[in-house]
Structure 1
Amino acid sequence: MPKTYTYELTKPRKVNTALNLLYASLGIGVISSGLFPVGLDEVNSFGSALNDSLYTFFIFGLTLLLYYMIGKGKNWARITFLVFFIMGVPLSIVVLPMYLSLSDPPIISGILFLVQTGMDLVALVFLFQGESSAWFKAIKQSNVHMTETNAPID
């Protein structure tokens, strides 16, 4: 009789909270992107408005996929999000003054940007705490053992 393995595969509350924060942050990003009118000079210097829109939709889709995979317990997605966040910190320091200068009133875009960044940071903390890490590990192990033994998880 093949060995069976029992893991706690119920998604921890902190992972659910992190996902809610990430999706809300993404929503804020979509809303705040409408606060920055692109003038003709910006379109001409940075490419066409169509290319900018395609790029935005691509990034939005990639972000949604990453969040979805985090919700499915994929550790690579959690680590990828961490790497993207760390890489974005220096860029954020440069971009914040631009956000403040492009919108009217400027304080709204700055506040939204800081709230979004804060939500992402809190979500990352939740995703890497012990309970969450144990869940990601259990998901990975359950997939490996299911493949190795073909046995159901109790």
Structure 2
Amino acid sequence: FRSYNEPDYRIKQITNAIFKQRISRFEDMKVLPKLLREDLINNFGETVLNIKLLAEQNSEQVTKVLFEVSKNERVETVNMKYKAGWESFCISSQCGCNFGCKFCATGDIGLKKNLTVDEITDQVLYFHLLGHQIDSISFMGMGEALANRKVFDALDS
């Protein structure tokens, strides 16, 4: 970020916009100068997310979201709402899986790729930006979490 020759406080402005104000689009971060917003869009895309929403299916207690993490590679994230008022998120750590467990359909796909830290955390950030409270997260989406070392980095971030 220092290559932009911007003062250090700009990073705090961006993180506040994302995590406190829940702003996902760089263009909407009006606290930033217009030229900086344009540079961010040119270098990172329209939004802070590195994953692309493809489909969303809702019921009273469950929201299933299909994301594209790279060209033609897709993962699913699930938000479960409980009567007690809390929400749990099942996120993916891999696109596909190599283990082939009998009880899981993901193994039939085979391992396409390990997700990056950004691809893992963006699944949760997507819901945060929509105003959801993140009460619990489990790695029960696609993939075997312990087979992807990036999961540990994602937990630290």
For Structure 1 versus Structure 2, the TM-score category normalised by the shorter chain is under 0.3
**Higher-RCO chain (CA-CA 8 Å, sequence separation at least 6):** 1
- Structure in which a larger fraction of residues adopt strand: 2
Length-normalised TM-score, structure 2? 0.25
- Structure number with greater Rg is 1
